[in-house]
Amino acid sequence: MSVTPPPTADERQVDERTRQAPGAKGTGRRRRGKLLSNLALLFLCLLWLLPTFGLLVSSFRDEDLVKGTGWWTVFANLADFSQWTLENYSEVLQAGMGNAFLNSIAVTVPAVVIPILAAAFAAYAFAWMRFPGRELLFIVVIGLLVVPLQVAFIPLLRFYSTLGLTGTFPAVWLAHTGFGMPLAVYLLRNYMGSLPNEVVESAQVDGASHYQIFWRLMIPLSTPVLAAFAILQFLWVWNDFLIALIFLGSTEANQVVQLVLANLVGSRGQDWHLLTAGAFITISVPLLVFFTLQRYFVRGLTAGSVKG
Amino acid sequence: MLKLANALIAVIAGVGGTVVLFWLMNKAVESLPETWENRLKPYVFIGPAVLVVTLFLIYPALRTVYLSFYDDRSENFVGLDNYGTLFTDPSLRLAITNNLLWVAVVPISCVAFGLLVAVLADRLSPRFESVSKSIIFTPMAVSAVGASTIWLFVYAWRPAGTSQIGLLNAIWTGLGGDPIAWVQVSNFRLNSFLLMVIMIWLQTGFAMVLLSSAIKGVPTETIEAARIDGASEIQIFWRVTVPQIMSTIVVVFTTILIAVLKIFDIIYVSTGGNFNTDVVANRFITELFDFRRFGLAAAIVVVLMLATIPVMVYNVRQFREQEAR
């Protein structure tokens, strides 16, 4: 009957609201239902927000106060500035977190950058070149997406110890490169494969080689997916605890933030003034990236959901 | 600072090295006769990636399977002994039971909460919708270690008579209860459930984002038709919306399932597997580093890997179907 285009998601809500008003009684029930559903959502949002909020507030409170009273008591006397301090941060930074923060950067940046190029070349070949074994190899890549990484640890540990790499940054860079590769190849190949045939074909007609097409066409066209993968891998490496524990855990000087925070929880579990500040330092960088690059972030996370 | 300089050098050397490697290999094949060039070029392109994956995943995985048939020091062949231990050793059986409990609770809870938030937020104005979704989604950026610290603070315990600093005990004592050291109470697996809350808190945002976009993709006509037929909103949700987003629900569910199967950091940080909270992946670390029983540790991860095979097969089949289209 109607010839108007189907409404978008946002229009639909409005549509729904106006349509559903057959009588005063119905409207009242609907309004109550809406209030109830909004309250439920508010409750969930509070439940999700409060733990982190409490942590943040506590990290700026004086040690005695953190250990003595609940963080929610600050609202009784917010203006009392003597309760706020940066002491916790300076103490935890000196207790190894400062060094670990630099280590985390030193671990993360190469582990994000190094795999991308090799993955991009492979993805291009899988998407645009014909060769025997192409499908089989790509199926292996898909299969590897969900393999538990632990399955590689014992032989890799031995391999690293013969090479004297245990506890060094290159050990972690290489491990992350290997473990991140299947996802990188998978994501990039799916994206490159979805680009229109004409792009590649017309370049080929003009006499461009695969190598030229790769550098001049594919890399510029693939920027969104390269960014999404970079963010995903960044998050994965920065937040990783398992690989860091296995390959860096033994060398104190090279420990990353996740290791130091976990050690603090284990050894100083009651020192909440340190733990809260340490936890906030640990989660601050990903949160910052999250708030600045939210769109890429969501895209990367959802696209990378298959990773094991 | 020296470390950062080293990292920078590594980035430049790593990237530069890869660029030069590809350039050289490309030059080398281009100098061959054309048939050989076309035959070999794809392998030049995939070579480095395949090499890395083989060296760091495939070979070690096969080697681990092999080691799982050997003793603690990987010297003598013991057949299936390690697998026998795996299913008879009481502490390992506890870990397996707990893992199954995690698998039974966490994925379905994430999907349920994710759906709930997606549906409730969908009714709000666009602005509040995006704010509430961001709040639920933000924990995705938080590491498991960070999340464990955040929630251990919520579960913190102080002796009775002193003021509580943990939110949960504050509420609990406010209601008249005695303060409880929550993570140590394993009656009815209470502490395991409280640790599962951490994982649900982390993963619900992911479920919500995917489910929300699936719900928005449901054609309005199907909902309108049901409404004209007199279906209630709840009936519409279960009979019209849910069936149409089933494939997304399956993807979300299996993704979280895989993550839960390998759940490790939360348990390692919060209880170290004590108080009956141990799980398989944590047991692997214990066997590997504390007891140095390499054969058993290998058998544990082989079982974990076997558990992921159905998902692997499903993924491959999905890919095949997509390609056929």
Cβ B136–A48 below 8 Å, yes or no?
A: yes
Q: What's the CA gap between A182 and B56, in Å, rounded?
A: 11
Query: Smallest Cβ distance to B123: which of A37, A51, A289?
Result: A37
Question: What's the CA gap between A88 and B272, in Å, rounded?
Answer: 26
φ/ψ of A21, rounded to 5, equals -135, 60
* Residues of B whose CB is below 8 A from A72: 167, 170
Q: Do A129 and B163 touch (CB under 8 A)?
A: no
**A126 in Cβ contact with A138 (< 8 Å):** yes
Q: What was the pLDDT predicted at A302?
A: 62
The residue extents of the domains of chain A are: 9-83, 87-303
- Alpha-carbon distance B240 to B226, whole Å? 8
Are residues B58 and B64 in contact, defined by beta-carbon separation less than 8 angstroms?
no
CB A114 within 8 A of CB A169: no
How many residues comprise chain B?
325
pLDDT of residue A301: 59
Which residue in chain B is spatially nearest to A236 when comparing CA positions? B143
| Interchain proximity B150–A45, CB inside 8 Å | no
- How much is the pLDDT for A307? 46
What is the token pair recorded at B26? 């490309």
| Contact criterion met (CB < 8 Å) for B4 and A305 | no
Specify whether the CB–CB gap between B261 and B99 falls below 8 A: yes
Residue A290 has a pLDDT of 81
Give the one of A34, A169, A240 whose C-beta lies nearest to B123's C-beta: A34
Place of tokens 């632990």: A150
Judge contact between A67 and A273, C-beta under 8 A: yes
Q: What is the mean pLDDT of residues A42-65?
A: 95
Residues of chain B positioned with their CB less than 8 A from the CB of A262: 145, 265, 268-269
pLDDT tens per residue across span A292-305? 887 776 766 566 55
Structure tokens at A47: 């439940």
- B273 CB near a chain A CB, below 8 Å? no
* Tokens 């995690």, located at residue: B102
Question: Which residue, chain included where needed, has tokens 């639920």?
Answer: B136
> Token digits for B160?
């009775």
In angstroms, rounded to a whole number, what is the distance separating the alpha carbons of residues B11 and A296? 23
Rounded CA-CA distance B36/A152 in Å is 36
CB of B56 closer than 8 Å to CB of A179: yes
What are the structure tokens assigned to A189, written together? Answer: 């190949």
Among the partner-chain residues B10, B120, B149, the one whose CB lies closest to the CB of A279 is: B149
**Distance of alpha carbon B122 from alpha carbon B217, whole angstroms:** 12
DSSP H helices in chain A: 9-19, 24-59, 63-68, 87-92, 98-128, 134-144, 153-163, 169-193, 197-205, 210-213, 219-221, 223-239, 242-248, 257-267, 272-292, 294-303
B91-324 CATH pick, 3.40.50.20, 3.40.50.261, 1.10.3720.10, 1.10.730.10? 1.10.3720.10
Find the CB nearest B312 among A138, A146, A170.
Answer: A146
Q: CA nearest B151 in A: which residue? A: A51
Short-list A176, A167, A169, A175, CA closest to A252 = A167
What DSSP element (H or E) covers B191? helix B190-216
Give the mean model confidence (pLDDT) for residues A273-290.
94
Chain A residues closer than 8 Å to B134 by CB: 294
CA distance A158 to A289: 36
> Which CATH class name applies to A87-303?
mainly alpha
CA distance A94 to chain B (A): 16
CB atoms near residue A2 (< 10 Å):
7
Of B143, B220, B284, the CB nearest to A241: B143
Instruction: For the beta carbon of residue A40, count every other beta carbon within 10 angstroms.
Output: 13
Question: Shortest Cα distance from A69 to chain B (angstroms)?
Answer: 5
**Domain assignments of chain B as residue spans, ordered by start:** 2-67, 91-324
Residue A17's pLDDT band (cuts 50, 70, 90): very low
Checking if the pLDDT of A22 tops 70, the result is no
CA–CA gap between residue B240 and residue A14 (Å, rounded): 20
pLDDT of residue B11: 80
Whole-number Å distance between alpha carbons of B122 and B128: 9
Give the whole-angstrom CA distance, residue A33 versus residue A169.
Answer: 56
Contact indicator for B145, A261 with CB cutoff of 8 Å: yes
> Is B48 in contact with A40 (Cβ distance < 8 A)?
no
Chain A residues whose beta carbon lies within 8 Å of the beta carbon of residue B41: 129, 210
**Residue B79: burial class (beta carbons within 10 Å; 0-12, 13-18, 19+):** exposed
Which residues of chain B fall below pLDDT 50? none
Report pLDDT for A305.
Answer: 53
Q: What is the pLDDT of residues A264-276, one digit of tens each?
A: 999 998 999 999 9
Candidates A3, A129, A146: best to mutate against B (most CBs of B within 10 A) is A146
Which among B61, B201, B265 is the nearest to A48, CB-wise? Answer: B201
Query: Looking at residues A98-122, what average pLDDT do you find?
Result: 92
Q: Which residues of B touch A239 (CB under 8 A)?
A: 142-146
- The HSE-up count of residue A161 (CA atoms within 13 Å, CB side) is 8
CB contact under 8 Å between A152 and B64, yes or no, is yes
What is the per-residue pLDDT for A14? 40
Task: State how far the Cα of B2 lies from the Cα of B20, in Å rounded to an integer.
Answer: 26
Q: What percent of chain A is predicted at pLDDT more than 70?
A: 87
Task: DSSP for A209-232, please give it.
Answer: -HHHHIIIIIHHHTHHHHHHHHHH
Average pLDDT over residues A72-98: 90
Task: For B185, list phi and psi in degrees, rounded to 5.
Answer: -90, 110
Residues in chain A within 8 Å Cβ distance of B297: 154
A40, B120 contact by CB (below 8 A): yes
Q: And the tokens for A277?
A: 């500040």
CB contact under 8 A, B46 and A72: no
pLDDT of res. B18: 83
b/e code B22-48 from CB counts within 10 Å (16+ = b): beebbeebeeeeeeebeebbbbbbbbb
CA dist B319 and B294 (Å) reads 36
Residue A24's pLDDT is 45
* Residues B270, A59: Cα–Cα separation, whole Å: 19
Count of CB contacts below 8 A, A vs B?
325
Q: Is A95 helix (H, G, I), strand (E, B) or coil?
A: helix
Q: Tell me A93's DSSP state.
A: I
The answer to whether residue B275 neighbours chain A at the CB level (below 8 Å) is: no
Residue B38 to residue B25: CA distance in whole angstroms: 13
Q: How far is CA B235 from the centre of its chain?
A: 32
What is the reported pTM?
Answer: 0.91
Helix or strand or coil: residue A76? helix
Does pLDDT of A150 surpass 50? yes
Angle, CA of A183, A189 and A192, to the nearest 5°? 140
Q: What is the spatial distance between Cα B183 and Cα B266, in angstroms, rounded to a whole number?
A: 12
